[in-house]
Amino acid sequence: MHFFTFVFLFKEISSQTENETTTTTVIPTPIGYRRRTSADFLDELLTGYDRFTHPNYYTKKPTNISINLFVNSIDSIESSTMDYKINVFLRMKWIDKRLRFSQKDVPDPVLNVHPSMYENLWVPDLIFSNEKVGNFHTLTTDNRLLKLSRNGEVYTSIRISLTLGCFMDFRLFPMDIQNCPIQMESFGYSMDTLQFNWQEKDAIQLNDNIVLPQFKIKGFKLEDCTKVYSSGKFTCKEGQFIMQRQLGYYFVQMYVPTVLVVCLSWISFWIDINAAPARTSLGVTTGRLFLTLTTSEDLLSFDDYTTGSKLSS
């Protein structure tokens, strides 16, 4: 009797073990199946894509580029060299129908693309006309942003540091207002092929933390600076930063010392006429103070401009 009971229990335990083994069995994924990555999609999207041809090449219509600038900082305004340093985020948008995709391809309406793909796409040949020195930023990564939308819209943002020329008029110095431009134009495409347009809203955005020691930014103006050369008519957009010189700095550094020196020179009228050494030393001291003020570093930058104005007049 005990023998049959043992056999029955052994079969029950064996059947339970087989059931547990069956329920925990994992069906292996077929080797040939895998999810398509964004890199695979981009390779398919760029198959047959010609990055040397602008988007509207076959329709014979100009490609419109929307431009927006975010001014991150304005470092300095040099009167002697007539230029200023600026750090900006250059943002551009345009439609390239060759890059359209559907929701079946990518579930997200906007695809963030690695900056390395920037070199595989057609991009506008934008240059800064009044640039003296410029460089891109690559610390700690390439400071570029690239996005693709389903309708073929391409959005780029690039961080750039520039030294730009700014012709200055010092006739009202130190109560002068300077308009310092930033000009962007196409280098090789005429207006029949490429046109730049300011973004409809917030075309230029200024960082609220920008502070300059001698100037105050009063605002900016948006201008059209279309260029006409012997090779054709080229699109150009210009932003002008309105800089008002801070009078307080020059009031303390120039006006107050000059008034004090003049008042000091008047003391000689109250000195006895027979006190020649005292009158002489006071006159020499006053002359040296005037010489120090007129040859200070802040005023040297305006010598060439003053001389040129006299010669031209």
pLDDT for res 204: 95
CB 148 within 8 A of CB 110: yes
Burial 242-275 (b: 16+ CB within 10 A, else e): ebebeeeebeebbeeeeeebeeebeeeeeeeeee
The percent helix, strand, coil of the chain (3-state, each to 5) is: 30, 35, 35
Q: For Cα atoms 232, 156, 202, give the angle at the middle one, nearest 5 degrees.
A: 85
pLDDT for res 38: 67
**Joined tokens for residue 188:** 């090789």
Provide the CATH number for the domain formed by 42-245 in this structure.
Answer: 2.70.170.10
Positions of the chain with pLDDT lower than 70, given as ranges: 1-38, 293-313
- DSSP H or E run through 297: helix 297-300
